[in-house]
Amino acid sequence: MEFSQYNVNALMYITPRPELVFTEGSGMWMSDHNGKRYLDFLQGWAVNCLGHSPQCIQDALITQSKKLINPSPAFYNAPAIELASMLTANSCFDRVFFTNSGAEANEGAIKLARKWGQLNKAGAYEIITFDHGFHGRTLATMSASGKPGWDTIFAPQVTGFPKADLNDIASVEQLITDKTVAVMLEPVQGEGGVLPASREFMQALRALTKKHNILLIVDEVQTGMGRTGELFAYQLSEIEPDIMTLGKGIGGGVPLAALLCREAVACFVPGDQGGTYNGNPLITAVGIAVLKELLAPGFMASVKEKSDYLSKALLKLSEKHGLQGERGEGLLRALKLGSDIGAKLVEAGRDMQPFGVLLNSPRPDLLRFMPALNVSIEELDLMLGMLDSLLTQIMTQIKK
């Protein structure tokens, strides 16, 4: 079927897209409507933590769909209970509320913190967030985000989100007032350019929030579920936050996210929070299958091994082509290009023959890598070889 035969204009325009329709995917590979294959280092922006269409997700969907799909969130269901129990057993949290997207989970975290502030901090409601942070696309989560230009797109913003600077504890402390109820951050700012919060900063932040009796919220929509080499990124710093949000990898490709909190913070009452599809058994059954894979013996060790391999290989590429190094945590990494060639590399990689490579450039001078956590060394080498060729090609064009 030719691209022109697809009525793409029936879809609302929200972003420019290449003239491709993806039709199949398996592991690290996708195929388009022409049958061309692509090595996928986006994986739905770190969503497909086990790659495209893994067998465990296929099995979970088929098995659960024959039992019960959606009884209504007014009732308990077994998969939601089991997944919540697994998450609390493997984290520092006591309670879980399931949502459909990371933005919805973050919106819930904001509501929960403000409710806690009403009960415990004389109505304190401000949540300190960070420049270059990204928390979602609802009005509140856009306001909480520190993405340049977002303060005017749907103005006026939701108030109550003063911005600090990542890894600058003084910038946080100077914003704390009697209106402050929490500090919210991504342990690694993904959209901001894969900027990790240092271990020292995270520990100082936890100490500061305890000193002022305010909550610490970690947005692990992108960093959670094994992405950084630990099950959750907060574990890298050996701290215990009050609230955590999960998304992307928790569903391995299906719409699942979660809001987790400590028992002392779980202050919602009937009517405060809900959602028609939230925690339905079909989707939480997938979450169980994904989490079982991540908890399997040796899985997280293999993530750390491959992240170290990718980091060293990217540094070698950087040295070879005169770039500015790499950074990141686990299998969420970035190559610092030193010039605004990111878009050219993305397009050229997609157009490669006989198969392409799908890359991501969240900033013009940066490439971000988000492979499946079970990516093979051979697939890493294949991508690195293709990227080496692309860099040679683009650098040669620039010199001309």
Known catalytic residues?
A: 134, 219, 248
Contact yes or no for 127/175 (Cβ under 8 A):
no
- Are β-strands 95-99 and 257-261 bridged in parallel, bridged antiparallel, or unpaired? antiparallel
- Are β-strands 332-336 and 366-369 bridged in parallel, bridged antiparallel, or unpaired? antiparallel
The tokens describing 268, both together, are: 């919602």
Contact yes or no for 334/367 (Cβ under 8 A):
yes
The tokens describing 20, both together, are: 């491709």
Hey, what long-range contacts does 19-26 have (CB within 8 A, 24 or more apart)? 20/350, 25/51, 25/52, 25/53, 26/51, 26/52, 26/53
Contact yes or no for 189/130 (Cβ under 8 A):
yes
Going from the C-alpha of 3 to that of each of 7, 32, 33, 160, 328, the distances in angstroms are 9, 10, 8, 46, 37
Structural element, H or E, at residue 328: strand 326-329
Nearest C-alpha neighbor of 144 from the set 189, 100, 91? 189
Coil, strand or helix at 335: strand
